Amino acid sequence: MSSNPMRCTLIGGAVVALALITSPAAMAAEVPDPAAATAAPIVVSQASAPSTNAKAAGPVVDEFPAYQQGVRKAAAEGPEALRRYTWRTRMIYNFYYNDFAPKE
């Protein structure tokens, strides 16, 4: 153990904490390189062109909620597939066979 006690540890700790807090903010506030501002814009080559169809003008709205996608697919495959799906996912979704069974 040292015979010299450490003095001003609270002030020193506050200075270190302030330096750690302000250093990321100072890095984020740096001025961007002027050469990068004059560079050509980045173009994504795999982006699809915007559609000009009149039908595609509005947002796409699904008829059923997204969480029912699997049960609706199973119902379209047939009653046995629906029964197996509802049994397999009974503790997750709590679907009932009669809610999605094809009406006769």
pLDDT tens-digit readout, 8-67: 677 778 888 887 787 776 666 665 666 666 777 777 677 566 666 655 556 667 788 989
Residue partners of 70: CB distance under 8 A and separation at least 6: 85, 89
pLDDT tens-digit readout, 54-99: 555 566 677 889 899 999 999 999 999 999 999 999 999 999 999 9
CA distances for 61 relative to 14, 50, 73, angstroms: 54, 18, 18
What span, in angstroms and rounded, lies between the C-alpha atoms of 87 and 71? 11
Half-sphere exposure of 27 (CA within 13 A, CB side): 5
